[in-house]
């Protein structure tokens, strides 16, 4: 589920329901996520107010009034769903995979749902540099104005792997995942097999790639992200960028570009699926 557009949507949803409100309590159903939920998680968060929420690449950071912060990553299948004290309903199936429940002072319950339990929650202590290190390590956000031609040429110039794998590398650019890497390369008409350092010499193509990435991500955010298996917004509503896929999940289907009769190919790169059109992407 969650790549940059989905995380951005979830961040905005959380902001709407959390900012300005306090945590009454936290119920932990499952502490064994990717990392074990710390034993003082509830104690640390309880009675603090949410000040602001930001996104760094695919991470969400919740700033608390007591100077602590919560670092959240949604892994492959993490999501938040809202319910209220009154109804206590989720409107989205059984609660089998709800691992945490945040009870807020505005009578809202924010439920963390994660089938594969690859997501995590960490407490960042005041003055701890986790966040600063994270900002260094995840490179520049794909939607940032700093993600520009000069930057990407520099980052790719020594890379001997393929461009598709480089786009998934969060230390090069933050936020792109497997879906949007394939879709962006299609839009930029660049083959996913292109060696990164060769592409780095082609200023025009790099510029085209950057604008394709920004276009695709912004478009996906506008339509609520991609719902492949279970991404929804906090109210349980699906996105519909999946209907706009040109290549992702379209193996052996006809290329959508007008006049192109080729079929979309599926290959494996660094253990991940890549979809592309051999005729359109050179």
Which parts of this chain interact with DNA (CB under 7 A)? 1-3, 6, 32, 34, 57-58, 73, 75-77, 96-97, 115-118, 137, 158-161, 165-166, 168-170, 177-179, 196, 226-231, 270-273
Q: How far is the CB of 99 from DNA (least distance, A)?
A: 10
Residues taking part in catalysis: 2-3, 58, 272
CB distance 4 to 142 below 8 Å:
yes
- Closer CB to DNA, residue 51 or residue 263? 263
Give 107 or 201: the residue with its C-beta nearer to DNA.
201
Minimum Å distance from CB 36 to DNA?
11
Structure tokens at 1: 């589920």
User: Which DSSP state fits 243?
Assistant: G
Query: Taking the complex as a whole, how short is the minimal distance between the CB of residue 113 and DNA, in angstroms?
Result: 11
Nearer to DNA, 48 or 169 (CB): 169
Contacts of residue 158, defined as CB under 8 A and 6 or more positions apart, other chains included, come to 197
- Kindly tell me which of 75 and 236 has the beta carbon lying closer to DNA: 75
Q: In 3-state terms, what secondary structure has residue 67?
A: coil
CA 15 from chain centre, in angstroms, equals 16
Given strand 59-64, what is the order of strands in its sheet?
50-56, 59-64, 69-73, 120-124
Q: How far is CA 197 from CA 28, 74, 163, in A?
A: 46, 31, 8
Shortest Å, Cβ 216 to DNA: 13
**Is the sign of the CA dihedral 81, 62, 138, 282 positive or negative?**
positive
Token readout for 27 is: 């119920």
Cα atoms found within 13 Å of the Cα of residue 281, Cβ hemisphere only: 27
Give the nearest distance from C-beta 42 to DNA in angstroms.
22
Instruction: Give the residue carrying structure tokens 């949507």.
Output: 9
| Integer Cα distance of 122 and 103 in angstroms | 18
């Amino acid at each position: 589920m969650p790549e940059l557009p989905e995380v951005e949507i979830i961040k905005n949803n959380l902001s709407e329901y959390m900012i300005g409100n306090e945590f009454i309590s936290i119920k932990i159903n499952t502490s064994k996520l990717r990392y074990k939920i710390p034993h003082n998680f509830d104690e640390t968060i309880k009675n603090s107010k949410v000040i602001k929420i930001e996104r760094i690449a695919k991470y969400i950071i919740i700033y608390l009034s007591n100077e602590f912060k919560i670092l959240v990553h949604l892994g492959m299948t993490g999501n938040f769903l809202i319910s209220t004290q009154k109804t206590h309903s989720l409107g989205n199936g059984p609660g089998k995979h709800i691992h945490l429940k945040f009870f807020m002072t505005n009578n809202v319950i924010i439920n963390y749902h994660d089938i594969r339990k690859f997501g995590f929650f960490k407490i960042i202590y005041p003055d701890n540099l986790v966040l600063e290190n994270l900002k260094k390590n995840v490179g520049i956000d794909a939607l940032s104005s700093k993600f520009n031609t000069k930057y990407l040429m520099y980052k790719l110039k020594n890379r001997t792997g393929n461009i598709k794998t480089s786009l998934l590398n969060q230390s090069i650019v933050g936020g792109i995942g497997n879906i949007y890497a394939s879709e962006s390369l299609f839009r930029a008409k660049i083959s996913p097999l292109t060696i990164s350092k060769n592409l780095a010499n082609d200023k025009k193509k790099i510029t085209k790639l950057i604008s394709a990435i920004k276009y695709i991500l912004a478009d996906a955010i506008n339509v609520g992200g991609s719902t492949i298996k279970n991404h929804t917004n906090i109210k349980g509503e699906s996105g519909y960028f999946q209907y706009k896929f040109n290549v992702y999940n379209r193996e052996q289907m006809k290329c959508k570009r007008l006049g192109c009769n080729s079929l979309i190919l599926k290959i494996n790169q660094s253990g991940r699926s890549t979809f592309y059109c051999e005729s359109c992407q050179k």
